[in-house]
């Protein structure tokens, strides 16, 4: 069992393997004495008790027992103190500011078992790398002004090529074959991943360069594409990866005769050179994962254990770092690139990579078993337009048509969902329906939005740093955006006091604005908005806040991650008013995810027509409704 921990304030994410039969979840600074053999997970936040709850192995399953002063919920159901409740993979545990998903890694580590002697390849690569570092006095060179010059890197490559040649000349042939096997597998993975990209011309140009640079690897790869029957199109991406992860080893073994001694040397040499240069200039083993669009998250639990999220499911990555030092060098490089630092006194930090990907790193002494790294990738290169989301089953064509009509009709929309459910992806996709020429101001704390408009202003918050004691919050930026004459305001994510300013913007001439927020259902979203407004205006009466929400928000689009790992829109609801009996905000579903057809949940129209339906439909010359296909 794996624990996928995320913090609602955006302060980071991490994945922890659940190994002990009894694990205590405590506050970050807890000094609680634990029973012998018990594990401990420290959670950030001032509202986490010590212990907050205990997770225990119960026969073949697991149970959770609440102990804290503050609430613990399992799948949104509150727990009673001292009463154990059974939990299993797919369920989530919530405590204030923290959501913990229980995840069972899928039985897809066939890719791992296809490389049983990977330690030998890592040892060969590390031997060459260490020799190069010593020969070039790399630790001194990297701090000099000459390091970035092409001449310097050219001299380093000459020495590297010499060391690789000497190592391969003395290496046994079965080890050379293992290096080639790694190279071919990674080439095929990149080739499959490219089918998900939008820019076909860029793909073709990249493939042409690869064929020219490494003709022999290209020829072997093409032969295996045929043997594995890879279709290499967007719709087959998932199936192609399944073929690669299950049949690659046998297919490679059967086709070793495709290359002679010269082919073997060239492929192995190019692969080792690429890997070592990635260690020296980029992020080592995870560089390749950063380049694979189908990977949405990278979780390094320790230097020799890497998990990835692919198609919404966690699986073990077959390759890893050679030692702790390599992983620490990568973390330090990411920190330097982000103008941040991480050390024993500040052993936990959040960074942002050059492409916008969000990084959380924890190092010893806080990380007991070695440094760990979690990267939530920015989907800029692989951003899906909404038609591809329909193809992927995230929503139906009628839902797409309805959302398009709602955006064009300038309806205020809140996209709701859990961590990693696809909120930002959908928000990016909805932006393609904003008419060209409208002025949009986008506000976010991490640069993730890529809006399909020519008149877009991007604003980004700034936290306090060692260099600057002044912070600029999302709320500051939303207030400033109101002075920039926007037609629409889009906030990447509402987490706190900025919600009141966002609601006021929606109510004061900025119709068609959109934002995202964390909630499990549209009804929960209404409660969450109340809480966020109270964080900024605690003196406001609750009824006044609810009236503001009803006046401002017109649609809630709910996303969830299903058991299969698929992300889907599970409900589109209209906010219609306040219940006179309960005083709660009423949301009415228009579309929802129901039933099962062939084992898959399906989207359906509920029968409820939204109050603004007349603004969405088309009329003919006689004033009659032209069509209502979106509600069929």
Tell me what the mean pLDDT of segment 583-592 comes to: 94
The C-alpha angle 39, 16, 84, rounded to 5 degrees, equals 55
Query: Is 90 exceeded by the pLDDT of residue 257?
Result: no
Residue of 33 and 411 predicted with greater confidence: 411
Q: Which two tokens stand for residue 562?
A: 């299903």
What the chain holds in terms of domains, given with CATH numbers, is 2-103 (2.60.200.20), 107-281 (no CATH), 285-382 (3.30.450.370), 386-631 (3.40.50.300)
Characterize the bridge pairing of strands 2-7 and 567-578. unpaired
Tell me the β-bridge partners of 85: 64
Spatial distance between the Cα atoms of 92 and 75, rounded to a whole number of angstroms: 5
Contacts of 114 (CB under 8 A, 6+ apart): 185, 245, 248, 249, 318
Average pLDDT, the chain: 84
Mean pLDDT of the region 104-127: 71
Cα distance between residue 324 and residue 205, in whole Å: 37
**Separation CA 311–CA 319 (nearest Å):** 19
Q: Tell which residue, 18, 17, 54, 57, has the closest CA to residue 35.
A: 54
pLDDT value of residue 200: 46
Residue 260 has pLDDT above 80, yes or no: no
Tell me the per-residue pLDDT of 316-368, one tens digit each, with 9 for 90 and over. Answer: 888 899 889 999 999 999 998 888 889 888 888 888 787 778 899 999 999 88
Beta bridge pairs of residue 350: 360
* pLDDT tens digit sequence for 507-539: 888 999 999 999 989 999 999 999 999 988 878
Q: Residue 409 has what pLDDT? A: 93
As given in the structure block, the two tokens for residue 536 are 């900024």
pLDDT at residue 466, as a whole number: 57
pLDDT of 597 > 50? The answer is: no
| Cα–Cα nearest to 14, from 304, 297, 380 | 297
Handedness of CA 366, 369, 370, 373 (dihedral sign): negative
CA distance 326 to 338: 19
User: How high is the pLDDT of residue 145?
Assistant: 78
Contacts of 261 (CB under 8 A, 6+ apart): none
- Which DSSP symbol is given to 20? S
Q: Summarize the confidence of residues 536-563 as an average pLDDT.
A: 90
Mean pLDDT of all residues in 429-450 = 84
CA distance 463 to 465: 6
> If we measure between CA atoms, which residue out of 269, 317, 327, 261 comes closest to residue 289?
317
pLDDT value at residue 622:
66
Lowest mean pLDDT: which of 109-113, 167-171, 358-362, 488-492?
109-113
What is the model's pLDDT at position 381? 46
Tokens of 95: 């405590």
- pLDDT tens digit sequence for 396-421: 999 999 999 999 999 999 999 988 78
Residue 379 has pLDDT above 80, yes or no: no
Element (H, E) at 211: helix 200-213
Reference 487, options 507, 453, 511; nearest CA is 511
| Stated pTM of the model | 0.68
> pLDDT exceeding 70 applies to what percent of the chain?
88
Per-residue pLDDT tens digits for 482-512:
899 999 999 988 888 889 988 988 988 899 9
Identify the band that residue 108 occupies on the pLDDT scale cut at 50, 70 and 90.
very low
Residue 198 pLDDT > 70: no
Region of poorest pLDDT, from 5-9, 277-281, 286-290, 610-614: 5-9
**Residue 195 pLDDT > 60, yes or no?**
no
Kindly tell me if the per-residue pLDDT of 202 is higher than 60.
no
Residue in the block written with tokens 């401002």 = 552
Average pLDDT over residues 372-382: 75
Amino acid 28: pLDDT: 83
Residues 55-73, mean pLDDT to the nearest whole number: 88
State residue 214 phi and psi, 5-degree precision: -145, 70
Residue-level pLDDT at 61: 85
In the chain, the percentage of residues whose pLDDT exceeds 90 is: 33
> What pLDDT is recorded for position 295?
87
CA 93 to mean position of chain CA atoms? 20
Q: What is the mean pLDDT of residues 53-63?
A: 87
Q: Give one DSSP letter per residue of 267-330, joined into a string.
A: HHHHHHHHHHHHHHHS-THHHHHHH-TTEEEEEEEETTEEEEEETTEEEE-S---SSHHHHHHH
Across residues 599-627, what is the average pLDDT?
77
Q: Does residue 216 or residue 286 have the better pLDDT?
A: 286
Q: How far apart are CA 184 and CA 151, in angstroms?
A: 30
Do 538 and 560 touch, CB atoms closer than 8 A? no
């Amino acid at each position: 069992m794996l624990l996928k921990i995320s913090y609602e304030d955006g302060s980071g994410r991490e994945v922890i393997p659940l190994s002990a039969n009894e694990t205590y979840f405590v506050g970050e600074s807890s000094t609680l004495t634990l029973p012998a053999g018990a594990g401990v997970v420290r959670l950030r936040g001032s509202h986490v008790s010590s212990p907050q709850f205990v997770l225990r192995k119960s026969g073949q399953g697991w149970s959770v027992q609440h102990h804290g002063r503050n609430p613990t919920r399992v799948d949104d159901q509150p727990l009673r103190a001292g009463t154990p409740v059974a939990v299993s993979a797919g369920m989530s545990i919530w405590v204030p500011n923290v959501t913990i998903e229980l995840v069972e890694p899928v039985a897809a580590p066939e890719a791992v078992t296809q490389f049983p002697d990977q330690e030998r390849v890592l040892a060969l690569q590390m031997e060459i790398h260490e020799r190069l570092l010593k020969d070039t006095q790399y630790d001194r060179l990297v701090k000099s002004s000459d390091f970035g010059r092409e001449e310097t890197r050219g001299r380093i490559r000459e020495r590297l090529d010499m060391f690789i040649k000497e190592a391969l000349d003395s290496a046994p042939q079965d080890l050379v074959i293992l290096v080639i096997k790694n190279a071919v597998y990674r080439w095929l993975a990149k080739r499959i991943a490219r089918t998900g990209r939008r820019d076909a011309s860029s793909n073709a140009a990249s493939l042409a360069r690869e064929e020219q640079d490494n003709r022999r690897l290209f020829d072997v790869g093409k032969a295996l594409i045929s043997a594995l029957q890879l279709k290499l199109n967007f719709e087959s991406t998932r199936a192609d990866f399944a073929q690669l992860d299950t049949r690659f080893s046998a297919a490679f073994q059967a086709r070793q005769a495709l290359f002679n001694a010269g082919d073997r040397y060239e492929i192995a040499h190019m692969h080792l050179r690429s890997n070592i240069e990635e260690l020296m200039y980029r992020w080592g083993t995870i560089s390749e994962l950063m380049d694979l669009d189908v990977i949405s998250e990278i979780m390094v639990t320790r230097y020799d254990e890497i998990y990835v999220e692919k198609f919404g499911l966690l699986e073990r990555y077959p390759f890893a770092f050679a030692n702790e030092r390599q992983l620490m060098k990568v973390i330090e490089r990411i920190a330097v690139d982000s103008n941040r630092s991480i050390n024993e006194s500040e052993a936990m930090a959040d960074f942002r990579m050059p492409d916008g990907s969000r990084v959380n790193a924890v190092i010893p002494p806080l990380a007991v078993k070695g440094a760990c790294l979690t990267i939530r990738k920015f989907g800029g290169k692989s951003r899906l337009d909404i038609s591809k989301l329909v193809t992927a089953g995230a929503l139906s064509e009628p839902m797409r048509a309805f959302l398009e009509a709602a955006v064009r009709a300038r309806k205020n929309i809140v996209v709701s969902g859990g961590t990693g459910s696809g909120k930002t992806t959908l928000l990016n996709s909805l932006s393609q329906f904003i008419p060209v020429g409208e002025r949009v101001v986008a506000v976010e704390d991490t640069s993730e939005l890529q809006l399909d408009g020519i008149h877009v202003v991007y604003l980004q918050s700034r936290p306090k740093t060692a260099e600057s004691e002044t912070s600029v919050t999302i709320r500051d930026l939303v207030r400033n955006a109101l002075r920039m004459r926007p037609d629409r305001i889009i906030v990447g994510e509402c987490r706190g006091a900025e919600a009141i300013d966002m609601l006021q913007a929606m109510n004061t001439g900025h119709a068609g604005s959109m934002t995202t927020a964390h909630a499990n259902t549209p009804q929960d979203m209404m409660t969450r908005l109340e809480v966020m407004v109270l964080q900024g205006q605690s003196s406001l009466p609750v009824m006044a806040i609810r009236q503001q929400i009803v006046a401002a928000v017109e649609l809630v689009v709910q996303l969830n991650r299903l058991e299969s790992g698929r992300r889907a829109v599970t409900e589109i609801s209209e906010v219609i008013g306040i219940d006179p009996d309960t005083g709660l905000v009423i949301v009415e579903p228009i579309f929802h995810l129901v039933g099962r057809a062939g084992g898959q949940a399906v989207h359906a129209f509920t029968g409820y027509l939204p109050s603004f339906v007349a603004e969405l439909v088309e009329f003919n010359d006689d004033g009659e409704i032209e069509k209502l296909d979106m509600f069929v």
